[in-house]
Amino acid sequence: MAAIKTILDTKSQSQILNLTQNQRCEIIESKKEFEQGLVIEQSELDKEFNQWLNAK
């Protein structure tokens, strides 16, 4: 979520973002998931991905 905020903050300083309704919905859903704690650290995701990759 912090990464999205950084991107949006950077973009919004230099231009107006025109989002589609679908993009707005995705942002709202992502925010809800974050608030509910439905997140995973990048390092944990990398670990799980590598385990999956090595299992093949």
Residues 6+ apart with CB under 8 A from 39: 1, 33
Domain count of the chain?
Answer: 1
Q: Provide the pLDDT for residue 14.
A: 64
pLDDT, tens digit (0-9, with 9 covering 90-100), for 1-42: 677 777 777 655 667 778 999 999 999 999 999 999 999 999
CA 39/CA 34 separation, integer angstroms: 6
Q: Residue 43: is its pLDDT beyond 90?
A: yes
Containing domain of residue 46, as a range?
2-55
Q: Supply the pTM of this predicted model.
A: 0.53
